[in-house]
Amino acid sequence: VLTMLVIMNVFMVYNQIDIGSIIGRNLIILCLLSIYGYYIFLFYKEIPFNQKLFLVLITSSLWTASIFIGENAFFYMPILVGVMLISINIDQQLAIITHILGIAFIGIILTLPMIFYLFYLPVGVFSALVIVEAKERKKIIYVAGLTSMFGVLFYILIVFMLGLELSVIEPLLIFANIVLTIIIVIGSMPLWEAIFQFVTPSKLLELISEDHTLLQRLMEEAPGTYHHSKMVSNLAQRAAKAVGCDVMMTRIGALYHDVGKLKEPEYFIENQNGGPNPHDQIAAESSAQIIIEHVAFGVKLAKEHKLPKGIVELISEHHGTSLVGYFYHKANQYDDGIVYGEAAFRYPGPKPSTKEAAIIMLADCVEAYVRSLDEEDRHLERIKEIIKEISNQKFMEAQLDASPLKMKELPLIAEAFIQVYNGMYHERVKYPTNR
Provide the sign of the torsion angle of the four alpha carbons 313, 318, 323, 326, taken in this order: negative
Identify the CA nearest to 361 among candidates 270, 264, 256, 232: 232
Cα torsion through 318, 323, 325, 329, rounded to 10: 160
DSSP state, residue 323:
B
For 301-329, letters b (16+ CB in 10 Å) and e give bbeebebbebbbbbbbbbbbbbbbeebbe
How many CB atoms sit inside 10 A of residue 52's CB? 14
CA atoms of 38 and 45, how far apart (whole Å): 10
Residues in the chain: 435
What pLDDT score does 109 carry?
Answer: 76
What pLDDT score does 3 carry?
Answer: 62
CA 334 to chain centre: 47
CA atoms of 282 and 292, how far apart (whole Å): 15
Provide the sign of the torsion angle of the four alpha carbons 132, 136, 142, 145, taken in this order: positive
The structure's pTM equals: 0.72
CA atoms of 66 and 73, how far apart (whole Å): 9
Backbone phi, then psi, for 346, in 5-degree steps? -110, 140
Dmax over Cα atoms in the chain, in whole Å? 99
What pLDDT score does 410 carry?
Answer: 95
The domains of the chain, with CATH numbers, are 2-194 (no CATH), 201-425 (1.10.3210)
What pLDDT score does 9 carry?
Answer: 67
What residues have CB less than 8 Å from 296, skipping those under 6 apart? 260, 348
Using an 8 Å Cβ cutoff, are 170 and 146 in contact?
no
DSSP3 helix / strand / coil % (the chain, rounded to 5): 75, 0, 25
Name the β-bridge partners of 146: none
The per-residue pLDDT string of the chain (435 residues; one tens digit each, 9 = 90 and over) reads: 566 666 666 666 666 677 887 787 778 888 888 888 888 888 887 677 777 778 877 777 777 777 666 655 666 668 888 888 888 888 889 899 988 988 888 877 777 788 888 888 999 999 888 887 766 556 777 888 888 899 999 999 999 998 888 888 888 888 888 888 888 888 888 788 778 777 766 677 789 888 999 999 999 999 999 999 999 999 999 999 999 888 889 999 999 999 999 999 999 999 998 888 999 999 999 999 999 999 999 999 999 998 988 899 999 999 999 999 999 999 988 756 677 899 999 999 999 999 999 999 999 999 999 999 988 888 899 999 999 999 999 999 999 999 999 999 999 999 999 999 998 876 554 545 554
Using an 8 Å Cβ cutoff, are 78 and 65 in contact?
yes
Identify the CA nearest to 67 among candidates 112, 24, 29: 112
End-to-end Cα, the chain, rounded Å: 82
What pLDDT score does 136 carry?
Answer: 59
What pLDDT score does 426 carry?
Answer: 62
What pLDDT score does 50 carry?
Answer: 74
